[in-house]
Amino acid sequence: MTSDAIVLAGNLLVKPFEGYAKRLPDGGCTSYPDPGTRGDPWTIGWGCTGPDVVPGTVWTLEQAQAALDKHLLFFASGSTKMSPSLLSEPPRRLAAVISFTYNVGLGNYRVSTFKKRIDAKDWAGAQEEICKWNKAAGRVMPGLTRRRRAEAQLLG
């Protein structure tokens, strides 16, 4: 079920790996530059980006949670439209793909060998492919390496 996968993705992967950065004393948060590029895209809450997130953006905790929920639903919907067979898989597999697309975008997923492995139900191949996506701005990022390993475990 998609809702189970969304909850898993949010609680097991997105929240822990994105973190709730730049927390303010009142529980809200402020925007920060992307850790990989040290600039765009500006990010807020649990890794949310968008045209309205610029230097100095401030959100309440409630705004951050609402944005996370909206983004998770968006990426779940996009992932299952591109790979409908995920709907018949255990929620953990869809959760891994939601987390991946939340992090790298649906466009990157659409053209990836990772998606080809998912669509072929080649789960070992998908585990191998997802782990290759551990770089930002051409540099291996330890946090992305850990995240991809966690996502890969859910694919197995």
Q: How far is the C-alpha of 130 from the C-alpha of 151, rounded, in Å?
A: 8
Q: Which two tokens mark 100?
A: 């991946």
Q: Characterize 107-144 residue by residue with b for buried, 16 or more Cβ atoms within 10 angstroms of its Cβ, and e for exposed.
A: eebeebebbebbeeeeeebbbebbbebbebeeeeeeeb
Residues 6+ apart with CB under 8 A from 135: 141, 144
Q: How far is the C-alpha of 15 from the C-alpha of 118, rounded, in Å?
A: 24
SS3 label, residue 73: helix
Q: How far is the C-alpha of 57 from the C-alpha of 124, rounded, in Å?
A: 41
What is the set of active-site residues?
18
